Structure 1
């Protein structure tokens, strides 16, 4: 406590802090009391004898919530604001535990299936469904479809989850750190994009191979011939079920990753994609399904590669890859994609027979008249050998769903064009479609009274002249007997001696 005055006189503590403007009007008796909190040195009170001007200060509010995040006042008490921790419920805690143990859970489940298959012979008819394709026709060597395919899909979802988490944690993250990425967020983003690059670099060439060896290669009309064929080759089935599992797993991934500002567009896109794959698989339109996947996947090679280059600091290469990404997006998703939609509208109804078919490939009957009602439209999902029908309704269903997916990609493409314009103006390529996070939810705060440490400070410890010399602030005239150097810059002075209370 430092007290300097001509003669010691008793002082009375005012009911509220005295404004700085009132200090200049008081006599020479001035007491400065400082409080040291764990963070800052703060001046709490400027005490003077009661004057008419001090009465005016008592009319001011005793509560101020306009201070810094770590120091606000309420009833003349210094408050500390902290982020309020929300209690985690049982479901949230379980979810966090599952996310933290993705690798162990995934590969332990896979190991359990294989061990059960090896050591429990009676379980083999069931465990075999998880890692082999079902419904093989010994006569043709091809595969039909059915409910047991979901075992293989479930196995692929678990496998992709384990591979994704394992590669991200033990391969991509160490590589990112070795290549100079130190922030955890950048390492995570790099690892996510590297996983997508690996996945699409495998499945896109496989899809191109299947399309190249199909009758529909470079011939849209052939997409609809030889229907209905209720069997597919083993490679086509494995490719289709693997892609189907990946998109189901992607629904989980976008909830695992930090939520981004296009979260709902992404979720809608995933659900539409899954719906189209499900319908094309059960309605035996795998040719057009493979073509759509090939057109979509080429874009998802350039985009993750561009993002990885961005995180590694290769700005020029990133811009080049972003340009290739834009070209591939427009050509594949807006030109060739619309050509497929046009073929659905123009060719499908003329090439495919209208009516319903029943039975398997060895005993196929039809076309028969389409029955009344709606049950026959869901029959392919329930019974692989039941009614399989085609009419204008099927054309409309596929076409409208594909156009809905096109609307989402058009929305994203306009956002991508904005990035291209920024690049042409000298900026950098940064895809706003999916790499920008959404605004975080508004945090809740709790307040607690700070417990200051009081310390006596001698007059010699307050080097106001030294502060004036260093800051270059000129002395201002004062009407009182006390001159405070630099009093014209009150906020700067208070910040210098440790008081960060907001002064209006």
Structure 2
């Protein structure tokens, strides 16, 4: 249910970062005044910046782009420190443990309950802290050292680098848990034995952290620079959260787990292709983009639709329409009802429609590349689009 944050901004188009003269890299990121003689203007501005560097002002642009936004690091870091400090006090431990540990766990397995919301909330705080540290203090520094000098280019680079780090981690964890599961490479076992109300503790933690990631992305979507596809992304994030929550509550975590893996592997390749493009590594960028397109088709339109098909057929055959209770305690678990089942299937189909629309945009980018035209992002802001216009 993960999705690419944007289609590839530019596949073969040169990034303006290394081509532009220093006149577009002012501290406030505004263009210099227009002069009749553009050549002399660029020369004068270039020499002016060179003089500034000689005077010790070469890091003004760097300092401007390194400023943390929204105090995310300070606030999230303070909340984390406070939580762990309170957890050291015995009187607060019954409360803080809900934030720090998986609830309803016993003998390596866990059930679900309302108190899982605390774990998700704290995971959102942790993800916000980790992202802000990497973005504001590490990845921006890497971008500047790599000579990505404009504000938007640095912002795009750090966004995609964070995506690579997170999705690589979540994909690796998801695949490890999938390999250890009872439903490894078995579509039948995704549904057989429902409801799967006892989930391995690590699988439950993985699922809740994935949910936290999507909540955190909704937050990021609203606090950072708005893109042209803002409402598309917001709609996608809401549907994804609804699917994760619905599948979790209704014990469809097995099929949800597999879908999360399918989405993560594609997002890694998309973000890698973007980063390679920022560095102007043409061959590896094009190769990665080709692999990305192939994996998108296979994972998001092939395997994904097969899973939806099994939900429409196998699930109905394997799960009798009745209410289920724990065989030992007699506690009521869930009732399998067609209304709830088909609601979740409908959400999966809506998500597929969104990914089909995005795939159409990706195909247009690929066609432009084949024709030798400049490939442009049809979903999101182009890198430094304002700075690319002539003065």
Q: Please report the TM-score for the alignment, with normalisation by the length of structure 1.
A: 0.61
Partner of 2:222: 255
Q: Distance in 2 between matches of 1:348 and 1:111?
A: 45
Deviation at 1:387, TM superposition (A): 5.2
1:122 is paired with a residue of what secondary structure? coil
Q: Distance in 2 between matches of 1:299 and 1:434?
A: 18
Partner of 1:113: 83
Q: Rg: which structure is higher?
A: 1
Partner of 1:393: 339
Q: Distance in 2 between matches of 1:134 and 1:192?
A: 32
1:30-429 correspondence to structure 2 within 5 Å: 99-118=69-88, 120-137=89-106, 140-358=107-325, 360=326, 362-364=328-330, 386=332, 388-427=334-373
Q: Any idea what the Cα deviations from partners look like across 1:40-76, whole Å, max 9, x if unmatched?
A: 9xxxxxxxxxxxxxxxxxxxxxxxxxxxxxxxxxxxx
Deviation at 1:439, TM superposition (A): 10
Q: Please report the TM-score for the alignment, with normalisation by the length of structure 2.
A: 0.78
Deviation at 1:432, TM superposition (A): 3.2
RMSD: 2.3
Task: Please identify runs of 4+ aligned residues in structure 1 that moved more than 6 A.
Answer: 437-440
Asked if the contact 2:215–2:241 (Cα under 8 Å) also holds between the matched residues in 1, the reply is yes
What are the ranges of 5 or more consecutive residues in structure 2 without an aligned counterpart?
Answer: 1-32, 35-66, 387-391
Q: Measured at CA, do residues 198 and 430 of structure 1 come closer, stay the same or move farther in structure 2, by a change above 3 Å?
A: farther
1:121 is paired with a residue of what secondary structure? coil
Partner of 1:58: none
Q: Distance in 2 between matches of 1:435 and 1:319?
A: 20
Alignment length, in residue pairs? 323
Asked if the contact 1:117–1:123 (Cα under 8 Å) also holds between the matched residues in 2, the reply is yes
Q: Distance in 1 between matches of 2:223 and 2:281?
A: 28
Which structure: greater strand fraction?
1
What are the ranges of 5 or more consecutive residues in structure 1 without an aligned counterpart?
Answer: 1-38, 41-96, 365-384, 441-504
**More relative contact order, 1 or 2 (CA 8 Å, 6+ apart):** 2
Q: Distance in 1 between matches of 2:288 and 2:234?
A: 26
Q: Distance in 1 between matches of 2:165 and 2:337?
A: 40
Q: Measured at CA, do residues 361 and 274 of structure 1 come closer, stay the same or move farther in structure 2, by a change above 3 Å?
A: farther
Q: Distance in 2 between matches of 1:251 and 1:133?
A: 23
Q: Measured at CA, do residues 431 and 299 of structure 1 come closer, stay the same or move farther in structure 2, by a change above 3 Å?
A: farther
